[in-house]
Amino acid sequence: MPLLSADKLTKSFGGLTAVSDASMDIEKGELVGLIGPNGAGKTTFFNILTGVYAPTSGSIKLEVDGTVKDITGFKPYNITKSGVARTFQNIRLFKDLTVLDNIRIAMHQNIKYSLPSAFLRSNNFYYEEERLVKEAEELLDIFNLTDKKNELAKNLPYGEQRHLEIVRAMATRPVLLLLDEPAAGMNPMETDNLTKTIAKIREEFNLTILLIEHDMSLVMKICQRIYVLDYGTMIAEGSPSEIKNSKRVIEAYLGEDVRYA
Amino acid sequence: MNQFLQQLVNGISLGSIYALVALGYTMVYGIIKLINFAHGDVYMVGAYVGFAVTTYAGIGFIPALIISMLSCALLGIVIEKVAYKPLRNSARIAILITAIGVSLLLEYVMMYFVGAEVRSYPKLLDDSVLKFGNIIINIQQIYIVFTAIALMLLLQFVVKNTKIGKAMRAVSADRDAAQLMGIRVDSTISFTFAIGSALAGAGGVLVGIYYNSIDPLMGMMPGLKAFVAAVFGGIGSIPGAMIGGLSIGILETLVSGYGNSMYRDAAVFAFLIIILILKPSGILGKNTKEKV
Amino acid sequence: MNSMKVINKKNILILIVIIVFYAVAQALINNGTINNFYEITLATICINIILAVSLNLVTGFTGQFSLGHAGFMSIGAYVGALINMEMNSTSGFLAGILAGAAAAAIVGILIGIPTLRLKGDYLAIATLGMAEIIRVVFLNMDDITNGAAGLNGIPRFTNWMWLFIFTALTIILINNFVHSSYGRACISIREDEIAAESMGVNTTMYKVMAFAIGAFFAGIAGALYSSYFYFIKPSIFGFMKSIDILVIVVFGGMGSITGSVIAAVVLAVLTTFLQSYSELRMIIYALLLIVIMIFRPQGLMGTKEITDLFKIVKKNEKNQ
Q: What does the pLDDT read at residue B81?
A: 95
Q: What are the residues of chain C with a beta carbon less than 8 Å away from any beta carbon of chain B? A: 65, 114-115, 117-118, 120-122, 124-126, 128-130, 132-133, 136-137, 139-140, 194, 239, 243, 246, 250, 254, 279-280, 282-283, 285-290, 293-294, 297
Contact B105 C122 (CB under 8 A): no
Among candidates C136, C280, C287 on the partner chain, residue whose Cβ is nearest the Cβ of B263: C136
Query: Number of folded domains in chain A?
Result: 2
In-domain check, residue C16: no
Average pLDDT across chain C, whole number: 90
Q: Summarize pLDDT for B28-40 with one digit per residue, the tens.
A: 988 888 889 899 9
Identify all chain C residues contacting A105, using CB atoms and an 8 Å cutoff: 184-185, 187-188, 196, 199, 201
Residue of C nearest to A113 (CA): C181
Residue A91 and residue A113 in one domain: no
Contact B98 C290 (CB under 8 A): yes
Res. C7: pLDDT tops 90: no
Q: Summarize pLDDT for A37-75 with one digit per residue, the tens.
A: 888 888 899 999 999 999 999 999 999 888 899 999 899
Q: What does the pLDDT read at residue B292?
A: 62
Residue of B nearest to C243 (CA): B100
Residue of C nearest to B29 (CA): C121
Query: Number of folded domains in chain C?
Result: 1
Residue A85 and residue A119 in one domain: no
Q: Does B101 touch chain C (CB under 8 A)?
A: yes
Residue of C nearest to A88 (CA): C195
Reported as a pLDDT band with limits 50, 70 and 90, residue A258 is very low
Q: What does the pLDDT read at residue B288?
A: 60
Q: Which chains touch B (3 or more CB pairs under 8 A)?
A: A, C
Expressed in angstroms, the distance from the first to the final Cα of chain C is 31
% of chain B residues with pLDDT over 90? 47
Instruction: Please state the rounded mean pLDDT for residues A101-119.
Output: 95
Contact A77 C197 (CB under 8 A): yes
Q: Summarize pLDDT for C46-89 with one digit per residue, the tens.
A: 999 999 999 999 999 999 999 999 999 999 999 999 999 999 99
Dist. CA A230–CA A16, nearest whole Å = 14
Min distance C180 CA to chain A CA atoms (Å): 6
In-domain check, residue A156: no
Q: Does A104 touch chain C (CB under 8 A)?
A: yes
Res. C320: pLDDT tops 60: no
Min distance B284 CA to chain A CA atoms (Å): 17
**Best mutation site among C115, C121, C141 for testing chain B: the one with the most B CBs within 10 Å?**
C121
Q: C232 by DSSP, 3-state: which?
A: strand
Res. A140: pLDDT tops 80: yes
Among candidates C115, C279, C297 on the partner chain, residue whose Cβ is nearest the Cβ of B273: C115
Identify all chain C residues contacting B108, using CB atoms and an 8 Å cutoff: 279, 282-283, 286
Residue A76 and residue A181 in one domain: yes
Q: What does the pLDDT read at residue A155?
A: 95
Instruction: List C-alpha distances in Å: B158 to A189, B168, B169, B178, C164.
Output: 56, 10, 11, 18, 61
Contact A77 C181 (CB under 8 A): no
Among candidates C118, C128, C285 on the partner chain, residue whose Cβ is nearest the Cβ of B104: C285
CB pairs under 8 A between A and C: 107
Q: Does B35 touch chain C (CB under 8 A)?
A: yes
Q: Summarize pLDDT for C94-140 with one digit per residue, the tens.
A: 999 999 999 999 999 999 998 898 888 888 889 999 999 999 999 98
Residue of A nearest to C180 (CA): A118
Residue A21 and residue A54 in one domain: yes
Sign of the torsion formed by the C-alpha atoms of A232, A233, A237 and A241? negative
Contact A81 C176 (CB under 8 A): no
Q: Does B109 touch chain C (CB under 8 A)?
A: yes
Q: Does B111 touch chain C (CB under 8 A)?
A: yes
Chain B residues 233-292 with CB within 8 Å of chain A: 292
Q: Summarize pLDDT for A215-246 with one digit per residue, the tens.
A: 777 888 889 999 999 888 999 899 998 988 88
Identify all chain B residues contacting C197, using CB atoms and an 8 Å cutoff: none
Neighbours of C12 (CB within 10 A): 10
Q: What does the pLDDT read at residue A188?
A: 86
Instruction: List C-alpha distances in Å: A23 to A7, A8, A48, B252.
Output: 5, 5, 12, 54
Reported as a pLDDT band with limits 50, 70 and 90, residue B195 is very high
Reported as a pLDDT band with limits 50, 70 and 90, residue A175 is very high
Q: What does the pLDDT read at residue B287?
A: 61
Q: Structural domain boundaries of chain B?
A: 11-215
Chain C residues 57-86 with CB within 8 Å of chain A: none
Q: What does the pLDDT read at residue C317?
A: 67
Q: What does the pLDDT read at residue B289?
A: 59
Boundaries of domain holding A67: 4-95+172-254
Res. B11: pLDDT tops 60: yes
Min distance B167 CA to chain C CA atoms (Å): 25
Q: What does the pLDDT read at residue C222?
A: 98
Q: Summarize pLDDT for C208-218 with one digit per residue, the tens.
A: 999 999 999 99
Q: What does the pLDDT read at residue B238?
A: 84
Query: Of B1-10, B118-127, C189-198, where does the model show the most confidence?
Result: C189-198
Average pLDDT across chain B, whole number: 89
Instruction: Please state the rounded mean pLDDT for residues B52-75.
Output: 93
Give pTM, 2 decimals: 0.90
C-alpha angle C59-C61-C67 in degrees, rounded to nearest 5: 5
% of chain A residues with pLDDT over 70? 97
Min distance B136 CA to chain C CA atoms (Å): 30
Identify all chain A residues contacting B292, using CB atoms and an 8 Å cutoff: 43, 47, 52, 88
In-domain check, residue C80: yes
In-domain check, residue A162: no
Res. B84: pLDDT tops 50: yes
Residue of B nearest to C197 (CA): B292
In-domain check, residue C95: yes
Residues with Cβ within 8 Å of B50's Cβ and at least 6 positions away in sequence, in order, are: B64, B65, B67, B68, B121, B201, B204, B205, B208
Q: Summarize pLDDT for C12-57 with one digit per residue, the tens.
A: 888 888 889 888 888 888 888 888 888 899 999 999 999 999 999 9
Q: What is this model's ipTM?
A: 0.90
As a three-state string, the secondary structure of chain B is CHHHHHHHHHHHHHHHHHHHHHHHHHHHHHHHCCCCCCHHHHHHHHHHHHHHHHHHCCCCHHHHHHHHHHHHHHHHHHHHHHHHHHHCCCCHHHHHHHHHHHHHHHHHHHHHHHCCCCEECCCCCCCCEEEECCEEEEHHHHHHHHHHHHHHHHHHHHHHHCHHHHHHHHHHHCHHHHHHCCCCHHHHHHHHHHHHHHHHHHHHHHHHHHHCEECCCCCHHHHHHHHHHHHHHCCCCHHHHHHHHHHHHHHHHHHHHHCCHHHHHHHHHHHHHHHHHHCCCCCCCCCCCCCC
Q: What are the residues of chain A with a beta carbon less than 8 Å away from any beta carbon of chain B? A: 43, 47, 52, 88
CATH code of A220's domain: 3.40.50.300
Residue A9 and residue A77 in one domain: yes
Contact C293 B95 (CB under 8 A): yes
% of chain B residues with pLDDT over 70? 98
Residue of A nearest to C181 (CA): A108
Among candidates C3, C182, C198 on the partner chain, residue whose Cβ is nearest the Cβ of A76: C198
Residue A68 and residue A138 in one domain: no
In-domain check, residue A213: yes
Q: Does C4 touch chain A (CB under 8 A)?
A: yes
Min distance C142 CA to chain B CA atoms (Å): 12
